[in-house]
């Protein structure tokens, strides 16, 4: 493999990946590290470069000093799909960056101080009531808002290089209190109010097109004006708008779909909220279902009711349930299933239950509460470890302990002071304070990560449960280093973050009731590989392999083809699930990418 020199950009080491093949032509790519001036490492720091893809890691990751600009980097496979860089200096300060590798072109990565907020170099118009949302894993859109009577510019945050720049065209219609949701080609900005004395709700949406780097200058007419609503991208890429405040000022219970590709909006075939609300929090769960939580009713009273809907919004999928409610609360979906809720009491209340796990089966489970909680800003986290800003400290969720702990003893007491926050990828938080964009890197585990040692052999690292784990006898999920993972019927544990194409899975399955292997695609569709689907009998070991579109299994004998398999080409998350009333036991779970 031939490697070529790269060129320096901002700060960092520049390396190149060579693409090998039968042809004598060699294509080279440069990997460039960038850093914001507020949190840049010095030239004495060195970086470890990890390459991930649909292959098993081999050998130690290559390393280079940041002073070694233009050096050649060996050891990057041609089919690398994700690059992670960990940087350390002589004081043991740490920086981290990761990105997916594009199909063509060079690779840019933004180094951020690990577990320490960083202000990006560029600033934008100071504003309130802006919409902040992820376009993709490396871009965040800041749309609309109010700037003391002026119309603020629309800005794009580029988290590959650390820049913030105003768009040439931007929004066609001035709006505040809108929503931003991503789609395959960019983002949708919907609804909101006019940022003037009228505060009239808007009955339109606009489309940001990533390929053009700006809005397309067309309005999508909504069925009704809508502000202070919730929004989420559905599995098919459409945007679902939920609730909000209508043109008459009344609270809405309706839902609406916006299709950015066709520039159409429609309400046909959609369910309505059981409890109309403004300011709802809407999220797509790992199952594909839509969870609607929080918000306020027509009197401004916080709504305690949780509502679940099918993945297309056509009907409820579970009965509603009530949770404690507050004006300061946040919800985030969990990778293994369900969601996490953090609620700060409106008035100080001894013994207030502030942390809840909403299980994959729509159960409500009280987790360890947080003693002092004045604010709630919750960010999605890699390793199923969401990060919380409480108003005076940063905490991180521990899924197996069912509690929050300090994110880092060294992290400063600085965090978001306004509402607009975004998680463009698990492990990265972005927020806007006035005119400044801040970013916080607290995890870098991506979809192509591979484990070199078996999981569930001595601990629960890189796995997560789909419900709260208790130490009470007969709990649905329990782990013992000597005996392994025990799962009651319906309880699941998933490998965190990673998704797989072709793979081989091997595990020890002592006991008479081995668990089922669950393959879940990005839309939430599950393929449950149990003894009926794969025609296997209980045995001390379990082997499952997926090769292309064929899935096979064995419990020590010959491989048998399973009667169902994931959709062709679908990448899947992998989990194990208890299948009978007798606890299923599994340990030493090894997954090899092939």
The neighbouring-strand residues paired with 43 are: none
Same domain for 185 and 305: yes
Same domain for 125 and 99: no
Q: How far is CA 138 from CA 95, 102, 447, 588, in A?
A: 17, 12, 15, 35
Per-residue 3-state assignment (H helix, E strand, C coil) for 213-275? CEEEEEEEECCCCCECCEEEECCCCCEEEECCECCCCCECCCEEEEECCCCEEECCCCCCCCC
**In the chain, how long is the greatest CA-to-CA distance?**
74
Let me know: does 35 contact 110? Beta carbons within 8 Å.
Answer: yes
Same domain for 108 and 182: no
Same domain for 522 and 434: no
pLDDT of the chain along its 594 residues, tens only?
222 222 233 333 334 443 333 444 456 788 899 999 888 998 889 999 999 999 998 888 889 899 888 888 776 788 899 999 999 999 888 999 999 998 888 999 999 999 999 999 777 888 889 999 999 999 999 999 998 878 899 999 999 999 999 999 999 999 999 999 999 999 999 999 999 888 999 999 999 999 999 999 999 999 999 999 999 999 999 999 999 999 999 999 999 999 999 999 999 999 999 999 999 999 999 999 999 999 999 999 999 999 999 999 999 999 999 999 999 999 999 999 999 999 999 888 888 999 999 999 999 999 999 988 888 999 999 999 999 999 889 999 999 999 999 998 767 668 898 767 899 999 999 999 888 999 999 998 999 999 989 999 999 999 999 999 987 777 899 999 999 999 999 999 999 999 999 999 999 999 888 999 999 999 999 999 999 999 888 889 999 999 988 999 999 888 999 999 999 999 999 999 998 778 899 999 999 999
Structural domain count of the chain: 3
- Cα dihedral 249, 251, 257, 262 in deg (nearest 10): 0
Q: Is 566 domain-assigned?
A: yes
Considering 69, 93, 113, which residue would you say is the last residue of a domain?
113
Per-residue confidence (pLDDT) for residue 337, from 0 to 100: 97
Determine the Cα–Cα distance for residues 65 and 87; give it in Å rounded to an integer.
9
CB burial of 462-493 (b: ≥16 within 10 Å; e: otherwise) equals bbbbbbbbeeeeeebbbbeeeebbbbbeebbb
The neighbouring-strand residues paired with 235 are: none
Q: Is 8 domain-assigned?
A: no
Per-residue 3-state assignment (H helix, E strand, C coil) for 414-478? CCCCCCCEEEEECCEEEEEECCEEEEEECCCCCCCCCCCCCECCCCCCCEEECCCCCCCCCCCEE
Per-residue confidence (pLDDT) for residue 21, from 0 to 100: 38
- CATH classification at residue 433: 2.120.10.80
What totals of helices (H) and strands (E) does the chain contain, helices first?
1, 47
Q: Is 264 domain-assigned?
A: yes
Same domain for 586 and 555: yes
The neighbouring-strand residues paired with 583 are: none
Let me know: does 472 contact 444? Beta carbons within 8 Å.
Answer: no
Considering 113, 132, 165, which residue would you say is the last residue of a domain?
113
**Residue closest to 398 by CA, chosen among 406, 409, 389, 390:** 406
Same domain for 68 and 179: no
**Residue closest to 18 by CA, chosen among 85, 72, 97:** 72
Same domain for 575 and 492: yes
Considering 66, 88, 113, which residue would you say is the last residue of a domain?
113
Same domain for 516 and 388: no
The neighbouring-strand residues paired with 147 are: 150
Determine the Cα–Cα distance for residues 220 and 65; give it in Å rounded to an integer.
51
Per-residue confidence (pLDDT) for residue 27, from 0 to 100: 61
Secondary structure class of 531 (helix, strand, coil): helix
Per-residue confidence (pLDDT) for residue 554, from 0 to 100: 94
Same domain for 490 and 344: no
Phi, psi angles (nearest 5°) of residue 383: 60, 25
Q: Is 2 domain-assigned?
A: no
Determine the Cα–Cα distance for residues 134 and 187; give it in Å rounded to an integer.
8
Q: pTM of the prediction?
A: 0.93
Per-residue confidence (pLDDT) for residue 8, from 0 to 100: 30
**Residue closest to 493 by CA, chosen among 471, 458, 518:** 518
Let me know: does 342 contact 294? Beta carbons within 8 Å.
Answer: no
Q: What contacts 140, CB < 8 A, 6 or more positions away? A: 132, 133, 134, 156, 157, 159, 422, 424, 430, 437
Q: Is 81 domain-assigned?
A: yes
Same domain for 290 and 221: yes
Let me know: does 291 contact 306? Beta carbons within 8 Å.
Answer: yes
Q: Is 364 domain-assigned?
A: yes
Angle in degrees, CA 119, 420, 369, rounded to 5: 95
Q: How far is CA 278 from CA 121, 135, 137, 241, 322, in A?
A: 35, 24, 28, 12, 17
Determine the Cα–Cα distance for residues 374 and 494; give it in Å rounded to an integer.
33
Q: What contacts 97, CB < 8 A, 6 or more positions away? A: 33, 84, 85, 87, 109, 110, 111, 112, 441, 444
Q: Is 446 domain-assigned?
A: no
Same domain for 480 and 333: no
Secondary structure class of 567 (helix, strand, coil): coil
Q: What domain range is 381 assigned to?
A: 118-441
Please state the separation of Cα 123 from the chain's center in Å.
26
- CATH classification at residue 533: 2.60.120
Same domain for 359 and 278: yes
Determine the Cα–Cα distance for residues 490 and 190; give it in Å rounded to an integer.
38
Determine the Cα–Cα distance for residues 555 and 517; give it in Å rounded to an integer.
13
């Amino acid at each position: 493999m031939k490697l070529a020199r790269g060129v320096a950009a901002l700060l960092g080491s520049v390396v190149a990946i060579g693409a090998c093949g039968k042809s004598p032509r060699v294509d080279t790519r440069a990997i460039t590290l960038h850093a914001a001036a507020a949190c840049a490492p010095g030239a004495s720091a060195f970086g470890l470069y990890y390459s991930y893809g649909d292959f098993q890691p081999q050998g130690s990751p290559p390393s280079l000093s940041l002073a070694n600009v233009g050096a050649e980097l060996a050891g990057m496979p041609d089919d690398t799909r994700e690059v992670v860089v960990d940087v350390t200096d002589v004081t043991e300060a740490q920086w981290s960056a990761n990105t997916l590798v594009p199909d063509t072109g060079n690779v840019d990565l933004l180094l951020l101080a690990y577990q320490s907020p960083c202000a990006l170099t560029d600033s934008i118009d100071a504003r309130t009531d802006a919409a902040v949302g992820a376009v993709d894993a490396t871009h965040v859109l800041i749309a609309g808002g109010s700037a003391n009577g002026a119309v603020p510019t629309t800005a794009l945050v580029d988290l590959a290089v650390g820049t913030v720049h105003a768009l040439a065209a931007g929004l066609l219609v001035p709006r505040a209190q809108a929503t931003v949701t991503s789609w395959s080609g960019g983002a949708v900005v919907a609804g909101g109010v006019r940022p003037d004395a009228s505060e009239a709700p808007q009955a339109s949406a606009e489309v940001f097109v990533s390929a053009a780097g700006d809005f397309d200058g067309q309005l999508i007419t909504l069925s009704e004006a809508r502000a202070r609503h919730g929004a989420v991208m559905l599995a098919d890429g459409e945007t679902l708008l939920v609730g909000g405040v209508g043109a008459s000022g009344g609270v809405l219970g309706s839902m609406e779909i916006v299709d950015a590709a066709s520039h159409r909006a429609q309400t046909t075939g959609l369910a309505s909220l059981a409890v109309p609300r403004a300011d709802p929090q809407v999220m797509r769960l790992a199952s594909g279902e839509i969870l609607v939580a929080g918000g306020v009713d027509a009197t401004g009273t916080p709504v305690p009711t949780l509502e679940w809907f099918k993945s297309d919004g056509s009907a409820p999928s579970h009965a509603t349930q009530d949770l404690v409610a507050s004006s300061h609360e946040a919800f985030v979906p969990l990778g293994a299933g369900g969601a996490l809720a953090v609620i700060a009491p409106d008035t100080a209340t001894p013994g207030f239950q502030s942390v809840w796990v909403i299980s994959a089966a729509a159960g409500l489970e009280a987790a360890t509460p947080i003693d002092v909680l004045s604010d709630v800003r919750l960010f999605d986290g890699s390793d199923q470890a969401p990060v919380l800003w409480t108003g005076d400290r940063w905490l991180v969720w521990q899924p197996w302990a069912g509690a929050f702990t300090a994110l880092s003893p060294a992290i400063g007491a600085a965090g978001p002071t306004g509402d607009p926050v975004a998680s463009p990828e698990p492990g990265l938080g972005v927020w806007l304070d006035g005119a400044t964009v801040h970013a916080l890197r607290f995890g870098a585990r991506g979809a192509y990560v591979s484990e070199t040692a078996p999981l569930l052999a001595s601990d629960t690292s890189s796995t997560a449960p789909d419900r709260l784990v208790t130490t009470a006898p007969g709990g649905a999920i329990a782990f013992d280093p000597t005996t392994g993972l025990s799962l009651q019927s319906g309880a699941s544990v998933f490998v965190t973050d990673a998704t797989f194409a072709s793979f081989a899975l091997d595990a020890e399955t002592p006991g008479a009731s081995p668990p089922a292997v669950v393959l879940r695609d990005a839309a939430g569709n599950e393929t449950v590989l149990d003894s009926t689907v794969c025609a296997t009998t209980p045995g001390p070991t379990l082997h499952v392999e997926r090769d292309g579109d064929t899935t096979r299994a064995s419990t020590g004998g010959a491989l048998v083809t399973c009667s169902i398999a994931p959709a062709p080409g679908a990448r899947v998350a992998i989990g194990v699930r208890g299948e009978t009333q007798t606890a299923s036991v599994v340990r030493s779970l090894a997954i090899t990418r092939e």
